[in-house]
Amino acid sequence: MSDVPRHVSVEWLHEHLADPTVRVLDGTVHLSPGDDGPRIEPGRASYEQEHVPGAVFVDQVSALSDPEGEAPFAAVGPDRFAAVVGELGVGDEHRVVVYDSVNGIWATRLWWQFGLEGFDRVSVLDGGLDAWRVAGFETTSGTETYPPTTFTARRRPDRIRSTQDVEAAVDDPDVLLVNALDRGLFAQGHIPGSVNVPFDELVGPDGRMRPIEELRELLASVGALDPGKRPVTYCGGGIAATAVALTLMDLGRDDVAVYDGSMNAWTADPGRPLER
C-alpha cells in the first residue's frame, strides 16, 4: 500500500503546486432537478470559470462512465480508464490530488476509480474548491493541460460489486451493506439488511472531514468496523458510496467494496425487495 494520505489540506496543496510530480484534477459534476429526473452535467463550464491553478478537468460523466454498464455512472473498464487519465497527463510516477467544487463526493468517486485500477498515489483535497477559496488562495480561469503520458491500470476486482453480488450478499451474515444516502431517502426504501451512514454526516459545516474519532464512533455505531463483516457501500448511483468507502479505509478497513450500480441498478427490477 502507498504511504500517500487519502486526504490532503489546501495548505499542503498550495505548498506543492509547483512540484512537477503533482497532478491536480477537477472532477466536478453538477446535478440539478429536472422534469424527467435529475439533470446531470459535467462541470467543465464551472471549471473554466474558476479552478485551482494547474488543475485539469476530467469529465466523469462521458469519459469515465460506461454507457453499457448496468446503471448510469458505471465505472469504465481498466483500458478505458488508463487511456483517459494518461491523456490527461497522469502517469504511474505521479502524485494525484482530486477535488470538486460541489459537495466532495465527485472527488471521492474519482479517488475510488483510481484505487479500483490499482493506483494509490491519490488524495482528495479536504474541503474542495470552497476550502481553497476560504483559505484565501488564488484561483484561475480557462483551460489547462499536462503532456499526455502512460498510465498502467491494474484492476482490483475485490473493490467493486455487481447487482448479482449484492443479491447474494443480502442473505450473507458476513457482509454488511452500508447505505450512504441521507436518512430520509434511506427510510423511503433500501436494500434489506442495510445500515445507514449518510455521506453528509462525514463532514463538518465547512465541508472538511470530521475528526477521525467522531467518524470512528459513527461507523462503529452501525457495525461497519466489525472485523467479522465485509462492508459493501452503496447509494443512489455509486457516487456518495465512495465517500463512505474512503472513510472506512481511513479507519483501517482494507476490505471495502462499492456496489457500483447502487439503487439505480437494484430498483431496475421491481421484483427485488426493499425495506422501508
Residue 247 pLDDT greater than 60, yes or no? yes
d(CA 267, CA 276): 14
For 20-75, the pLDDT digits (tens) are 999 999 999 998 777 776 788 999 999 999 999 999 999 999 999 999 999 889 99
Element (H, E) at 161: strand 160-161
Predicted pLDDT at 26: 98
Q: Is residue 276 situated within a structural domain?
A: no
- The pLDDT confidence band at residue 143, using thresholds 50, 70 and 90, is very high
Distance CA 125, CA 176 (A): 28
User: Does 200 lie in the same domain as 184?
Assistant: yes
Query: How does pLDDT run across 85-117, given as a tens digit for each residue?
Result: 999 999 999 999 999 999 999 999 999 999 999
User: Same domain for 53 and 172?
Assistant: no
Cβ count within 10 A of residue 50: 15
Domain containing 248: what range? 158-266
pLDDT value for 39 = 84
* Residue 144 and residue 17 share a domain: yes
Distance CA 180, CA 202 (A): 10
30 and 150 belong to one structural domain: yes
- What pLDDT is stored for residue 33 in this prediction? 74
Best CA proximity match to 209, nearest among 135, 138, 133, 128: 128
**Does residue 202 share a domain with residue 83?**
no
In a domain, 38, yes or no: yes
| 261 within some domain | yes
Q: Are 139 and 47 in contact (CB under 8 A)?
A: no
Please give the mean pLDDT across all residues of the chain. Answer: 96
Q: Quick: pLDDT tens for 177-190.
A: 999 999 999 999 99
Confidence of residue 2 (pLDDT cuts 50, 70, 90): low
- Residues 6 or more apart whose CB falls under 8 angstroms from that of 235 comprise 179, 180, 181, 199, 241, 262, 263
DSSP E strand boundaries for 16-157: 22-26, 29-32, 39-42, 56-57, 95-99, 122-125
Residue closest to 263 by CA, chosen among 159, 192, 197 = 192
- Domain assignment present for residue 164? The answer is yes
Count up the domains in the chain and report the number.
2
Domain boundary among 155, 181, 196: 155
- Are 32 and 75 contained in the same domain? yes
Q: Is the pTM of this model over 0.85?
A: yes
Do residue 13 and residue 144 come from a single domain? Answer: yes
Average pLDDT on 189-194 reads 98
Same domain as 100, residue 173: no
For residue 1, pLDDT over 80 is answered with no
Amino acid letter, 37: G
Q: Say which CATH number the domain at 33 has.
A: 3.40.250.10
